[in-house]
Amino acid sequence: MSYTERLPRTRTYLMCPPEHFTVEYAINPWMDTAVPVDAALAVKQWELLRTTLADLGHAVHVLDPRPGLPDMVYAANGAFSVDGTVYGARFRFPQRASEADAHRAFYQDGLAGDWRFAAPEHVNEGEGDFAYLPGAYGGLVLAGYGFRTDPAAHAEAQEVLGRPVVSLKLVDPAFYHLDTALAALDDRNVTYYPGAFSPAAQRVLTQLFPDAVLADRADAEAFGLNLVSDGRHVILNTEATAMADKVRAAGYVPVPVELTELKRGGGSVKCAVAELRG
């Protein structure tokens, strides 16, 4: 099979260093409070992810970590932006609630551009459960629910962003956020693990994305779908070797990064990287 060349588009990202990273509570099946995390190693691995993105030519803003917010490294959960509008997050669990304020302050201080910030009424965990495909159907939002984000937030996001929002039901607790089960590979195509979705949501995805790259449970468990792509380079967890082969076969360039420590909190590349769409 031959593909047209996959072209990268320069992005702006937001990351937050895991200086205060621990697993001191368990709000997803990956978190085990009995296994200690190596915070120094987590920072080292995070730093390599940051430089990998920067070396690919992307702008990376850094959010100051706050003590007492061990999950703040998962910056993707703090908000969801489309064309200069930011739909703020509202976390499901109290342990993470004030992360939303830190993200809101980042957008409102104006250092990373001018944003229109919309405070949410409904529970939603930012890019954890929202993905945007600017080139699909004129600009399409995919939204997950079932574990974290309230489906009422999907309608709220549609009102705030003025883009169609497609609700997808997640059914497997191991893949509790949309970004553990599905990722945008470029402006119009996605990769996903069908088994993480309800049968109806699987039909919707088949209809919308007939050319999607399909992943299996092992790919998802290796956090291979928790990837960041610039349209050409697909940055993903080193453990996800089979997934790297799949994206390579589809014409993309896999860029593996080691993130063993962040996996202990139930996240990987995508969770640690929010995209700022100005």
Give which of 144, 192, 194 is closest to 165, Cα–Cα.
144
Q: Which stretch binds ligand ARG (CB under 6 A): 3-11, 149-157, 176-184, 228-236?
A: 176-184
Minimum distance of ligand ARG from residue 114's CB (angstroms): 25
Interface stretch with ligand ARG, choices 97-105, 138-146, 173-181, 191-199 (CB under 6 A): 173-181
Of 207, 153, 156, 146, nearest in space to 181 by CA: 146
> Can 61 be counted among the known catalytic residues?
no
Count of alpha carbons within 13 angstroms of residue 245, beta-carbon side: 6
Q: Which residues of 51-63 are buried (b: 16+ CB within 10 A; e: fewer)?
A: ebbeebebebbeb
271 is catalytic: yes
Quote the CA–CA distance of 116 and 224 in Å, as a whole number: 33
Size of the site for ligand ARG (CB under 6 A): 16
**Among the listed residues 150, 172, 179, 219, the single contact to ligand ARG using CB under 6 A:** 179
Encoded one letter per residue, x for contact with ligand ARG by CB under 6 A and - for no contact, window 12-51 reads: ---------------xx--x--------------------
Torsion of CA 46, 188, 208, 166, to 10 degrees: 60
Residues 250, 53 contacting (CB under 8 angstroms): no
Least Å from the CB of residue 228 to ligand ARG: 11
Q: Which stretch binds ligand ARG (CB under 6 A): 2-10, 71-79, 209-217, 244-252?
A: 71-79
- Nearer Cβ to ligand ARG (6/181): 181
> Which residue type is seen at 208?
L
Q: Say if CB 155 and CB 162 are below 8 A apart.
A: no
Region near ligand ARG per CB under 6 A, out of 32-40, 130-138, 217-225, 260-268:
260-268
**Does the footprint of ligand ARG cover residue 77 (CB under 6 A)?**
yes
User: Could you say which of 103, 154, 177, 233 is catalytic?
Assistant: 177
Other Cβ atoms within 10 Å of 108 Cβ, number: 12
E strands of the chain, at which residues?
12-15, 59-62, 79-82, 85-88, 116-118, 130-133, 140-145, 165-169, 182-184, 190-192, 213-214, 228-229, 233-237, 253-257, 274-275
* Sequence-ordered list of residues with C-beta below 8 angstroms from that of 169, at least 6 positions apart, any chain: 144, 145, 146, 197, 198, 200, 201
Tell me which of 88, 128, 144, 224 binds ligand ARG, using CB under 6 A: 128
CB of 269 to ligand ARG, least distance (A): 10
Stretch 187-226: interaction string toward ligand ARG, x if CB under 6 A: ----------------------------------------
Selected binder of ligand ARG within 131, 136, 182, 271 (CB under 6 A): 271
265 near ligand ARG, rule: CB under 6 A: yes
- Indicate the burial class of 77 (C-beta count within 10 angstroms; 0-12, 13-18, 19 or more): buried
Positions in the binding site for ligand ARG (CB under 6 A) = 27-28, 31, 71, 74, 76-77, 96, 128, 177, 179-180, 265-267, 271
Active site residues: 177, 271
